[in-house]
Amino acid sequence: MQIYLPIAEMSVDVFLLLGLGGMVGFLSGLFGVGGGFLMTPLLIFIGIPPAVAVATEANQIVASSVSGVIAHWRRQNVDVKMGLVLLAGGIFGSVIGIQLFAYLRGIGQIDLVISMSYVAFLGIIGSLMLAEAGRALLRRKGGAAQARRRQRRWIHGLPIKMRFRKSKLYISAIAPFVIGAVVGVLAAIMGVGGGFIMVPAMIYILGMPTSVVVGTSLFQIIFVTATVTFLQSVQNQTVDVVLAMLLLAGGVIGAQFGSRASTYLRGEQLRGLLAIMVLAVCGKLVWDLVTTPEDLFSVATLGAGS
Amino acid sequence: MRAARRWALISAACLAGLALAALALNSVRAAPLTADLSDHLIKITTGFTGTDVLLFGATDGPGDVIVVVRGPAARTAVRRKHRVAGIWVNRSQVVFSDAPSFYAVAASRPLEELMGTQALKRHQLGPWGIKLTAEEEDDDGLRIAYQAALNRIRSAEKLYQLESKKVRFLGEQLFRVDITFPSNVPTGIYTVQVFLVRDGDVVTAQTTPLKIEKHGFDYEVFEFAHTHSALYGLFAIALALAAGWLASVVFRRS
């Protein structure tokens, strides 16, 4: 059954979209990842204009993060103060990101920048996850390794120190602000929540306890992706609510099955599988960039004629 | 508009019934060329997959007919990819300030049989109907290559239909042709021109407007997003928050 997407201005099969939403939702439920970094390239593969895919995915992440943060809020796993500092950075970063997005779109380079950003991030994340999964498989006999709480020395040299009671930290506000800003730029340009960057940064750079990391990052992601949704709507008119709702419907159901399945399946092998999938998507993007296109020319309508 | 509608009724009837056809022909005889569309408004709704519009009419005697359908003009960029460090990148572009978003030609015989090249150029028919003005006129050879690319890409999308479609005559005076609009047809005001050709030149011409617009739910969403974009953004966020909350409520117990 075809449905006409009002903002993307094209017809797409409803069941394809529900299926995509369900599949990515299943994976995000299974692995506890946001899924934006898989959904946006998949949308581009099925022919959704990259600008629409990125903006719409930000809108969808708002919804999928809400249910996550509610659960963490109940367990009091959200460091609100840290979240607010990250958020301030996130809003700053997303405003910059949106300007950059509009500029790149105007000069016809946005598709390239989106693809290249994905290649870089999916490549790095996929390789790290694969290595991690491999190591975990090797040392399974030795028992679970204790998650180390590390903190970089240079963090202490920065000014404007703040006390974050929930995270039991007394550190400079500049570090979380910068991390938030980087994630904000990524959210605007790539249509991702940025959890896959933020969570490791919070653990390894800020030294936050793992118990509050996921809840706090989700808290920040909701507001940053909401900001991105708003700014994309105003500046580029590329948020397709019909597309977002269809993906969401599939995603919500898929996530429930995914989180249930995760209790029955073993982690390391699954993480290895996810890593391979991430690398496959990355490989496809690289392939599309380096192979000679079928048509070297493309046409873009810029506005009403004179 | 009312007169046009009456014409539509009369002309439609002339195709349907023989008795009415005689009547219609009598009233047509005054003008050398009369033509109308089966529909002056195309609505793009949720299930839109393209449509055909029937153009029909009558002439006052033997002759040939050329039909030109033109969509609204738009500033259009044609970009070319070049290989930079192994990656294909858009590196050069030509911007045309007035490229038609849609252009279709139909004729009762191949155009070159009807008129000489000079006459076709003079009346801007066939490929000469697409007049393109490059915003920066520096390299003519370059511009021609980009223009050819635009024609090729738009033809593949069925937005440019230069392979003239056949206008069919029913007898000597009544003619009809189906104009095909693909699912990706741009919205706006179109003009439909009908030319009557005799002895290698245009005798008379008639122009009829055609409107293509989005309609229903999709139209509302699109309009909302473009005219009240801030409100639309807030609405999108509210919808997402509500959906996320609803999901957590529904699946909390199970």
The total number of structural domains that make up chain A: 1
Q: Does residue A271 lie in a domain region?
A: yes
Nearest to A302 among B76, B80, B239 (CB): B76
Q: Does residue B10 lie in a domain region?
A: no
CB contact under 8 A, A256 and B251: yes
Q: Does residue A295 lie in a domain region?
A: no
Tell me the shortest Cα–Cα distance from B195 to chain A, in angstroms. Answer: 25
Averaged pLDDT of chain A: 83
Rounded Cα–Cα distance for residues A10 and A18 (Å): 16
Average pLDDT over residues B168-191: 89
Percent of chain A with pLDDT over 70: 91
Average pLDDT over residues B145-168: 87
Pairs of CB atoms within 8 A across A/B = 185
CB contact under 8 A, A306 and B98: yes
Are B78 and B169 in the same domain?
Answer: yes
pLDDT of amino acid A304? 65
Measured at the alpha carbon of residue B54, what is the angle toward residues B49 and B58, in degrees to the nearest 5? 170
Are B175 and B148 in the same domain?
Answer: yes
Are B100 and B199 in the same domain?
Answer: yes
Are B41 and B75 in the same domain?
Answer: yes
Average pLDDT over residues B224-238: 91
Are B163 and B225 in the same domain?
Answer: no
Are B198 and B234 in the same domain?
Answer: no
Q: Does residue A303 lie in a domain region?
A: no
Are B176 and B57 in the same domain?
Answer: yes
Q: Give the CB-side neighbour count of residue A229, counting CA atoms within 13 A.
A: 29
Q: Does residue A169 lie in a domain region?
A: yes
Are B98 and B188 in the same domain?
Answer: yes
Q: Does residue A305 lie in a domain region?
A: no
A94 and B CB contact within 8 Å: no
What single letter denotes the amino acid at residue A164? F
Nearest to A108 among B45, B76, B79 (CB): B79
The total number of structural domains that make up chain B: 2
Nearest to A233 among B72, B93, B233 (CB): B233
Q: What is the ipTM of this complex?
A: 0.81
**Coil vs helix vs strand at B201:** strand
Q: What is the CATH number of the domain that holds B159?
A: 2.60.40.1930
Are B62 and B151 in the same domain?
Answer: yes
Average pLDDT over residues A62-90: 84
B69 and A CB contact within 8 Å: no
Are B88 and B109 in the same domain?
Answer: yes
Q: Whole domain around residue B251: which residue ranges? A: 215-254
Q: Does residue B152 lie in a domain region?
A: yes
Q: Does residue A301 lie in a domain region?
A: no
Are B76 and B178 in the same domain?
Answer: yes
Are B238 and B148 in the same domain?
Answer: no
A106 and B CB contact within 8 Å: no
Rounded Cα–Cα distance for residues A17 and A31 (Å): 21
Q: Per-residue confidence at A75, pLDDT binned at 50, 70, 90?
A: confident
Query: How does DSSP classify residue A209?
Result: -
Could you tell me the two tokens for A4?
Answer: 């006409």
Q: Per-residue confidence at A199, pLDDT binned at 50, 70, 90?
A: confident
Q: Whole domain around residue A259: which residue ranges? A: 2-140+148-290
Mutate to test the interface with A, among B43, B92, B158, B237 (most CBs of A within 10 A): B237
pLDDT of amino acid B23? 46
The DSSP-derived string for B1-63 is: -HHHHHHHHHHHHHHH-HHHHHHHHHHHTTSSEEEEES-SEEEE-TT---EEEEEEEEESSS-
Tell me the shortest Cα–Cα distance from A10 to chain B, in angstroms. Answer: 7
CB contact under 8 A, A67 and B240: no
